[in-house]
Amino acid sequence: MEEKFAELEKKIGVEFKDKNLLIQAFCHRSYLNENPNFELGHNERLEFLGDAVLELIVTSYLYFTYPEKSEGELTSWRAALVNTKEIGDTAEKLNFHDFLLLSKGEGKEGGKARLCILANTFESLVGAIYLDRGYDTAKDFVEKNLICKLPRIIELGLYRDPKSEFQEITQEEVGITPAYKVLKEWGPDHKRNFVIGVFLGDTLSGQGEGQSKKEAEEKAAKEALNKKSWKNLKK
């Protein structure tokens, strides 16, 4: 297995001192269910650490690179850069799927489920790099593979947040702040699904489904904007 992961080290340009950290970063919880004697744990603790390290790296980069920009703008740019889609796409381009340790069932998953696993693995890898090689190496990895996407995000306006846009417009148009409520949720803890509705008072204005509450809320706000024909109102 170490020989296989040596290929990944070359691909990402990081040579690990502790090879087990690298392998564990790619070990999904489901793999341990089918391989209970596997000597390493799953990657969820590394993901927890990597998520924080990733946010610090991106936040620091934005803070020092764009001193003239407001906190609100930088927050929007950061959210657009570290969302599941962008991180998952980055992991896909690095062929992380060739190294994932998954159960047979999870291995057959595609679409959003696979994208979420890839995004979580990217965060796990950031955590592993941080532990093994330190902050500067993790920073170099993130800048080279993820932060490089920022100019495109800014140019295409991909940082515009549907939730913020919907709230701003509804407060101006009807004087109401949108409220988000979970309408339905299902699935195991590591693979939760949510349907969330956005309400103006008692009126359901839109709803969205996602594998996180944040994703479902954004989709609900986007649907509400489209249904109300407000999306281009302020442009």
- Sign, CA dihedral 8-12-18-22, equals negative
232: helix, strand or coil: coil
Give dist(CA 125, CA 24) in Å, integer: 9
Residue 51 annotated to the active site: yes
Contact (Cβ atoms closer than 8 angstroms) between residue 2 and residue 22? no
Catalytic residue (choose from 106, 123, 132, 218): 123
Contact (Cβ atoms closer than 8 angstroms) between residue 108 and residue 28? no
Give dist(CA 166, CA 218) in Å, integer: 10
Matching residue, tokens 């509804």: 170
Residue 161 annotated to the active site: no
DSSP assignment of 73-120 equals: HHHHHHHHHSSHHHHHHHHHHTTGGGT-B--HHHHT--HHHHHHHHHH
- Write out the catalytic residue numbers: 51, 123
